[in-house]
Amino acid sequence: LKPSWVMDEAYSSAQRISQLVSSSFGPCGLDTLVVADGKKLVTNSASRTLGAATARSPLARIILRHVQKVTDGLGDGTGTLVLLLEGALGCSAAALRAGEARAVEVAQCFSFVEQSLIPSVVAPLLQRLEYCEESTEKHVRGLVRSSLGANFPPGVCEHLGTLFWEWLSTNAGDDLGSAVQELKRRDLICIPVSLITQHATVQGRDGRSALSASRTVRGHIVSGVLGHPAMPMAQEGGLLVILEPDASVPVHTSEPGKAFLASADLAMIAVEVLWQSGVRVILSASQVHETWRGALSQRGIMLIQLVEEDDLK
């Protein structure tokens, strides 16, 4: 068992989040969650769902039954929701029956956000961090708001931004400093292919793995170009440059239409990892299979295909 002061501290912060949610949304109804086909969770707000999932309610039981099954393949923002629900509703059936689930859910939600969600978004946020004259703290808070704003009211985003910065200052000081210096120099940074392929295994026609987690792809953060105010939001952010003809990344095929036995589900998972890594634009000299082109387009990642001048005639 955790010391009582740890639980008190977690519950105190959970109360703060709960109060912010209530002041922003008011009472929550049960119609904020839709379960379709037994595997999809769709909601307009993670906070409203937490407020609706009271102890012993049918909604709580539905969430508890389905939340583990829906982590993969969900759309924009919903992955964060599922992670929050997984932490918040990962309490026992006994707690639900005992009528203690409401407090436990919120406390576990906060604990999960602090211990799992915040560390998991450190790398993507650092990759998106570009040097500016503002304080680094203010810029990081802005990135947190832009990343989580679709799922939380402003007050909760502000609170999570504070938690993130405190965690980052304590646990990632050296990494943060080196990233800022690197971005000042506008140097290329490496994006490990493992970020893209950690959830996917694709077999090539010869039976060998078509993706290699040992390779790295050269990518860099573009400032003042991709972030132009006139450019759609989906096109802002990191630029992944694929210039090697034999690059071992999901979007490359040496023989278009043949090199990968890739399913649409696999493409969607790999593209989601690209998005979570901060990639918004892919500039590729390699051929891109139509399966991957469709998945990239659906996720809002721009693909720029480099071709020889002769191909344009």
Residue boundaries of the structural domains of the chain: 3-125, 133-213, 225-311
pLDDT score for 138: 73
pLDDT score for 279: 61
pLDDT score for 182: 43
Query: How much is the pTM?
Result: 0.29
Q: What is the CATH number of domain 225-311?
A: 3.50.7.10
pLDDT tens per residue across span 90-116 = 333 334 344 444 445 445 555 555 565
3-125 fold: GROEL; domain 1 (1.10.560)
pLDDT tens per residue across span 168-205 = 666 554 544 454 444 344 333 333 333 333 323 333 33
User: Which residues in the chain land under pLDDT 50?
Assistant: 1-103, 105-106, 131, 173, 175-177, 179-239, 241-265, 285, 306-313
pLDDT score for 162: 73
Reference 46, options 15, 69, 24; nearest CA is: 24
Report the C-alpha gap between 216 and 52 in whole angstroms. 44
pLDDT score for 296: 74
